[in-house]
């Protein structure tokens, strides 16, 4: 799954946030040669009334490959959440586990500390593993890259697998996460 600039989702614009530029979010997923697209994504945006009072946040995600928007009454903090889950192709249940991961992230409050986010993701992993583990070698799996971004611009970022996060700075993209794959470990360890 890649994030690109054509406006697919224009869900939140607050003049004081990331001023003076307009905030536009979009997602694009290309299935390729597989019969089933196992990608999923999540965008949670804070919601303000005209008087600047925070209301329930809006979450947009996929459910059975259809876009679904819902209110998150428990999310009353000035945080965005962006997440991409890339179900592992060729594994039975990749679409379902990616969708279940995104649903679980809707229930997780925004996180400020990387160590707490890591622990919460590990808890979600354990629950998904318990529910989706199959009795064969190719159990379903998904990658994850996510960011909890405070309205100030401060972000906590996590990734699992080979989905990456990039930062646009000084007119270029900078990779800010590393793949969790054997090839990446070999490259980093110079083996």
Share above pLDDT 90 across residues of the chain, in percent, rounded to a whole number: 29
Domain contains 17: no
Better-scored residue on pLDDT, 44 or 185: 44
Rounding to the nearest 10 degrees, give the CA dihedral for residues 22, 29, 110, 130: 180
Among candidates 161, 167, 131, which has minimal Cα distance to 149? Answer: 167
Q: Would you say residue 141 has pLDDT above 70?
A: yes
Q: Would you say residue 4 has pLDDT above 90?
A: no
Measured CA to CA, the distance from residue 95 to residue 74 in angstroms comes to 26
Residue numbers of the domain that contains 95: 39-160
Among candidates 116, 93, 120, 95, which has minimal Cα distance to 106? Answer: 120
Q: How many domains does the chain have?
A: 1
Domain contains 167: no
Interval 41-61: pLDDT, tens: 999 998 876 666 777 889 998
Q: Would you say residue 185 has pLDDT above 80?
A: no
Domain contains 80: yes
Domain contains 174: no
pLDDT given for residue 186 in this prediction: 64
pLDDT given for residue 63 in this prediction: 84
Interval 76-90: pLDDT, tens: 888 999 999 988 766
With cut-offs at 50, 70 and 90, classify the pLDDT of residue 148. Answer: very high
Tell me if the bond preceding 138 is cis, omega within 30° of 0. Answer: no
Averaged pLDDT score across all residues of the chain: 76
Measured CA to CA, the distance from residue 104 to residue 124 in angstroms comes to 7
Domain contains 15: no
pTM of the model: 0.74
Domain contains 144: yes
CA atoms within a 13 Å half-sphere pointing along the CA-CB vector of 98 = 32
Alpha carbon separation from 42 to 30, 45, 59, 62, 82 (Å, rounded):
16, 10, 7, 8, 6
Q: Where are the alpha helices (DSSP H) in the chain?
A: 94-107, 114-132, 182-189
């Amino acid at each position: 799954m890649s994030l690109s600039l054509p406006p697919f989702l224009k869900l939140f614009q607050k003049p004081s946030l990331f001023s003076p530029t307009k905030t536009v979010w979009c997602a694009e997923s290309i299935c390729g040669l597989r019969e089933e697209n196992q990608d999923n994504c999540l965008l949670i945006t804070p919601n303000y009334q005209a008087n600047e009072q925070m209301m329930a946040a809006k979450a947009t995600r996929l459910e059975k490959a259809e876009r679904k928007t819902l209110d998150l009454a428990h999310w009353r903090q000035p945080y965005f959440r962006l997440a991409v889950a890339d179900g592992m192709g060729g594994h039975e249940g990749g679409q379902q586990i990616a969708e279940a991961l995104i649903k679980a992230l809707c229930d997780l409050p925004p996180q400020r500390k990387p160590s707490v986010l890591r622990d919460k993701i590990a808890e979600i992993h354990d629950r998904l593993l318990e529910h989706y583990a199959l009795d064969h070698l190719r159990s379903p799996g998904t990658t994850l890259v996510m960011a909890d971004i405070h309205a100030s611009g401060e972000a906590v970022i996590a990734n699992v697998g080979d989905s990456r996060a990039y930062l646009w700075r000084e007119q270029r993209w900078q990779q800010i996460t590393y793949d969790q794959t054997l090839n990446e470990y070999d490259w980093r360890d110079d083996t």
